[in-house]
Structure formats: structure tokens, C-alpha cells
Amino acid sequence: MRAWVLVLFLALGVWAQENPASPPPDLPPEVFAIARELRCPVCQGESAAESNSGVAAEMRRLIAEMLQEGKTEEEIKAFFVDRYGEWILYEPPRRGVTLWVWVLPVLGLVLLGLGLLAYFRPKKPLPPELLEEAERRLKEPPA
């Protein structure tokens, strides 16, 4: 009985938590859609939408201002690329050296698939004459 009460309280605690993926009410969702595609310059491995750093908050504020001015998503991204370089984009552009970032994993999977196909391909059976010769040699005493 105590275990069920504990499980119920834990479930209620999880249910009562606020959804972390929902944007705060002070900024429109479009700001967070664009900020998810930009890295936080301070945090390691977080987007500007996920980060709580001051720089990320400032980036979100700038995005909101630019959207109010009527700028497009591409213009906003270009502004941040000019300011921080292409590193700021979560998806590297598909050109030049970064094209290999997109091509090599697919190429590796294709080669792996071909190797597995060759390894597990059914082998051709040996000719009966060869099998008979091997059996005869096994039955003969060693010389």
C-alpha cells in the first residue's frame, strides 16, 4: 500500500512539472524556432533557445526585434553568421569542406551494408567430388 502511495506522489510530481520545451510567454514561438537553429556562443552543445545564459537571452531578444522589423529567417541567420561565423549554425552549410560532414556518414553506411551483404551472402556448396575426396583423406590413417 505504501509503495502505491509513493508511486502516486511521484507521478503527480512529474505531471505537475512545467513542460521545458514550451517557450516562455514573453516571446513568440517563432523566436524560439529560429533560436533552435543557432548555437549559444557561451554554452557547450546548447542552442540559443535552450540556453539560460545572458548571451542566449540577448540573441533571442535580437531575433524578436528583427522579426518585428519584418526581417526573414534567412536575414536573421545571415546577421548571426556575419557576427559569429558559420560556427553559429547548428546545421553546417552543405558546400565546400562541410559537404563531407553530410556525405561521409551516408557513404560509410552504404559501405557497411555492402560489407555485411558480402559476408552473410550464401556460399556456393562444394562440388561432391571434392567432399568425397576430403572424407576419404580423413578416413585414411596418417602416414
- Alpha-carbon distance of 92 to 77, in angstroms, equals 12
Residue 21 pLDDT: 46
Extract the C-alpha cell encoding 102. Answer: 553530410
Q: How confident is the model at residue 117 (pLDDT cuts 50, 70, 90)?
A: very high
Q: Give residue 92's Cα distance to chain centre.
A: 13
Q: How confident is the model at residue 116 (pLDDT cuts 50, 70, 90)?
A: very high
What digits encode the pLDDT tens for the residues 23-57? 455 788 899 999 999 999 888 789 899 888 999 99
- Alpha-carbon distance of 24 to 50, in angstroms, equals 11
Stated pTM of the model? 0.55
> Which residue bears the cell 590413417?
141
DSSP helix/strand/coil, 8: helix
Mean pLDDT confidence for 73-93: 88
Kindly list the distances between the CA atom of residue 106 and the CA atoms of 16, 40, 47, 99, in Å, as whole numbers in the listed order: 42, 28, 25, 12
Residue 128 pLDDT: 87
Integer-rounded Cα Rg, in Å, for the chain is: 30
